């Protein structure tokens, strides 16, 4: 793996008709944001070979809108991605890192945010980068990491829907 994209699902409705968290759908804004993020990532030539996607409705819907910009990508869902913590997400990434040049994970907070921060700390990111990331990981945000030969993840970019909507 040369690149890793960690993405939080786009904005979701507050509740689902079923009352189950995993059944929450994307809001109208979330659908717009997910499509815009897909276009922004594709425009930067950040197209995954493999995507790990939580089985929750909002993450699957986010992926469907991203997928429109990426084209054919192998996808895997795993129950552990649904609200998995940073350690769980890390194990899932490590289990497939030899299978893709670019791996994308679409999951939930706080796990996706904490894993991004862990990678920043391990990569000795600057205090300003750590400060920016400590401010949160909003719905639809994506952290893009380059992976060196030693397996270290170095931040290459951080996009939020508000960034791509502005231009």
Count of domains observed in the chain = 1
For the whole model, what pTM was predicted? 0.94
Task: Tell me how far apart the alpha carbons of residues 93 and 105 are, in angstroms, rounded to a whole number.
Answer: 8
The per-residue pLDDT string of the chain (167 residues; one tens digit each, 9 = 90 and over) reads: 999 999 999 999 998 888 888 999 999 999 999 999 999 999 999 999 999 999 999 999 999 999 989 988 999 999 999 989 999 999 999 999 999 999 999 999 999 999 999 999 888 888 888 888 887 899 999 999 999 988 889 999 999 999 887 54
Task: Tell me how far apart the alpha carbons of residues 121 and 23 are, in angstroms, rounded to a whole number.
Answer: 34
Residue that is written with structure tokens 């639809």 in the block: 140
Rg (alpha carbons) of the chain, rounded to whole number = 15
Identify whether the C-beta of residue 52 lies closer than 8 Å to the C-beta of residue 96: yes
Residue numbers of the domain that contains 128? 3-165
Q: Which residues, 6+ apart, have CB-to-CB distance to 167 below 8 Å?
A: none
112: CATH: 3.40.50.1240
């Amino acid at each position: 793996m040369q690149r890793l994209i960690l993405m939080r699902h786009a904005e979701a409705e507050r509740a689902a008709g079923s009352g189950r968290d995993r059944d929450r759908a994307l809001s109208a804004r979330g659908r717009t944001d997910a499509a815009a993020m897909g276009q922004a990532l594709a425009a930067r030539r950040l197209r995954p070979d493999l995507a790990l996607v939580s089985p929750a409705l909002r993450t699957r819907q986010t992926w469907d809108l991203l997928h429109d910009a990426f084209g054919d990508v192998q996808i895997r869902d795993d129950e552990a991605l649904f609200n998995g913590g940073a350690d769980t997400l890390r194990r899932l990434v490590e289990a497939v890192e030899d299978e893709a040049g670019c791996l994308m994970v679409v999951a939930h907070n706080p796990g996706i945010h904490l894993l991004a921060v862990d990678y920043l700390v391990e990569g000795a990111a600057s205090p300003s980068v750590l400060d920016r990331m400590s401010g949160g990981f909003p719905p639809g945000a994506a952290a893009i990491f380059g992976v060196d030969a030693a397996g270290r993840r170095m931040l290459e970019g951080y996009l939020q829907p508000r960034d791509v909507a502005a231009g």
